[in-house]
Structure 1
């Protein structure tokens, strides 16, 4: 029997994030992306521009419902000592209907800022942007 198209779509409710092995139960959203870096390559007599792969840059953001002081706890000692923490972020996006999952393990993380925001009649949030040097995919769909 064919799988219903809607059952094959992943929901954010089936996504999980761990920070140094701790499941983040207060996380609201998580984003990561890899941007590929290319240099232009040109030749005399050729009007086209070619691209040479030079590497990549990884960036992301952890956004929490404000339940605790995550950014402060993570970085308060680092901003005083200058020694940044070693952090590993692991993600899992799964689909119960298909049994398929995607996992990412992100390392070489550098946090660029932390803080919080609040607004009248809304839920307070805390966003922690970061960049990363490496990502591995132990499981893909």
Structure 2
């Protein structure tokens, strides 16, 4: 069967929760898993194969600047020399798509904290990069 354009997931229907708290000011969210490999030369061939050695999860939570949520969550932790792990839940549920996608990042650790970032005649935005090692898929598009 051919792909139908109407079934493409639209980010307009994306939602995010940070430690159970709904993030209404979310603008976007991306999380990726980079596969780490080591090159393995193959005897008798010019080819180089590879061996899976692990993975690294990275992501970015993008928000409109409407509050000081991230400063409040991270300031005292950073000053105390402790970094808390956070749970990030992402859901995209486009009514015309083939179901919803819900993924839980179980142990997000934010990489930085923006204290000040503004510019004249520009709406405030915030990017919060993070790393993680564990996730769970609870809903996948096309399997609901």
TM-score of the aligned structures, taking structure 2 as reference length: 0.88
Could you tell me which runs of 5 or more consecutive residues in structure 1 were left unpaired when the two chains were aligned: none
RMSD value over aligned CA atoms?
Answer: 2.0
Tell me what 1:62 maps to: 61
Indicate the residue corresponding to 1:73 in structure 2.
Answer: 72
Q: In 2, distance between residues paired with 1:65 and 1:95?
A: 21
Partner in structure 2 of residue 130 of structure 1: 130
Alignment of 1:39 onto 2:38: yes
Measured in 1, the distance between the counterparts of 2:21 and 2:34 equals 27
Match of 1:120 in 2: 120
Distance across 1 between alignment mates of 2:136 and 2:107: 11
Aligned residues: 140
Corresponding residue SS for 1:117: coil
SS in structure 2 of the partner of residue 123 of structure 1:
coil
Flag as ranges the 4+ runs of structure 1 deviating above 2 A: 4-7, 43-46
Counterpart residue number, 1:23: 22
Kindly indicate whether the alpha-carbon contact (under 8 Å) linking 2:88 and 2:106 is maintained by their aligned counterparts in 1.
Answer: yes
Are the aligned partners of 2:9 and 2:97 in contact in 1 as well (CA < 8 Å)? no
**Deviation digits for residues 37-77 of structure 1 (CA, Å, limit 9, x no counterpart):** 11111133222101111111111111111111122111111
